[in-house]
Structure 1
Amino acid sequence: MRQDISDLAAFYASPLGQAARDMATRKIRETWGETRDLEMLGAGYAAPYLEALSKDAGRAVAAMPTGQGADAWPPGRRNRAVLTAEDALPFPNARFDRILMVHALEESLDPEALLREAVRVLAPAGRLIAVAAARNGPWAPFESTPFGHGRPYSRRQLARRLEDAGLAPTGWTRALYVPPIPGLAGWAEGFELVGSRLWRPASGLILMEAVKQTLALQPRPVTAKVRLRVRAEAAAGARPQPAGRGGVSPELGA
């Protein structure tokens, strides 16, 4: 069962929710870079993140699942939020250049169907970022925040989930090192700086980017010869390439 829209909105109106949004949004910006004139979709409850990411975008839309409920977004302007079934997004094929999924996969009753719809509406070579609670992170056990609900993910589990939907993971990163304690929200920047350098596995969130595969981009089977070539390139200092099925893509910014 999904969290209610009122609980999500209340969390992001709090200092702790704003800190979570800010820490994750920074990583998304670093990954996507310039988004001018692009078509963007936020799935789940991504509206707080879209507010900062879509200022120069051509259009941004927030799709909120029926089990959760929806708020008008952006506040005070023409509404661009829609209440929709997860497995039947009301958009044409290949519409969006970027898709951001937040509070989407963890509580979905059918994450496979949700991702299939995301792939359908994603443009060829379009890019998707899935933000999920880290399975071994400090936020997953606490139901007092939205990241403590549903199924958290390890990075391998998240990569496999995206691959099963026909997406090719290209990179991943971590965010949100501050503990889920309201009184520590003001220290989020300090926790992020220290945690990302000294305790990288202790993040609250995993963010993974993937691209929509076309026939020309389908990964080849990993053979013994390919493994030997990859090892030789790694030994020579070559830049690591995105992993094939079952692998974990390189860490963004590592």
Structure 2
Amino acid sequence: MKTIYLKELKLTQKTLVIWLVLIVMLTGFAAIEFIVLKDAMGEIAAMAESFPKIILILFGLNGVRVDTPLGAYQCMVFWTNLLAFFYAGFSGIFAVSREERFGTSEFLFSKPYKRSAIIWAKIGAAVTNLFVFSLTVGIMSYLCIILPLGDLSITGVHIITTLGIFLTQVVLFSVGIFISGLAKSYKTASLFTMLTVTAFYVISFALDYIGTMDFLKVLTPVSYFNVVSVSENGLSPFYILLSLIIILAGCFMAIRFFERKDLCNS
């Protein structure tokens, strides 16, 4: 199992690096933008107040004042989450269905290991990659947003926000691997995962727009640890518990599907 885990880390290294480069580019660009526009942030925030609410929601400005260090950080988290969450969803697809796509299923699953052990090793490697991804987001956000803006008082918020990103990523990963267990092909699994993560965002935007139905946020993992609510109230114990339930249920169900699935002849 350890051998498969390490091999999986090596095989997914290139993909992870590509996504991390995107994160570095995004946060680096944001740092330059915030520094250049620092003196004009007050005017930008005042102008944003006149925008329709739906525009504010779509650009991560709902309830956020970009002329404050905390507001600028919250806005940046919204954009990094777009990359983080789609990467997490597709990590679930890539974990096992990759073997079907590239025709290596027969070789891998003929090894003297239980199929469940192989899949658990792949899950472990994927979660490790997600941890590295979240850690990189946290470090880059600190270096490129918090330090340039000069307000270290939001470091505590930054830490719990990063933990929230990681938990959400693992939830979406478990959804992705669950879908890949159900789907008959890599292409179908990829399509449904993209649509599912997009649907989560659409539901989140709709609930933010309505603003009076917070209890429905259980339907969309991308809202479990919303950066604004986490900044104000910390990580919700209810959503932490719900996330763990979804993660365990998604992974165990996926393993059951893959144990019954004909991978060698797909």
Same fold? TM cut 0.5:
no
TM-score, length-normalised on structure 2?
0.25
Considering fraction of residues, name the structure with more strand: 1
Structure of higher RCO (CA pairs closer than 8 Å, 6+ residues apart): 2
Which of structures 1 and 2 has the bigger CA Rg? Answer: 2
Considering fraction of residues, name the structure with more helix: 2
TM-score, length-normalised on structure 1?
0.26
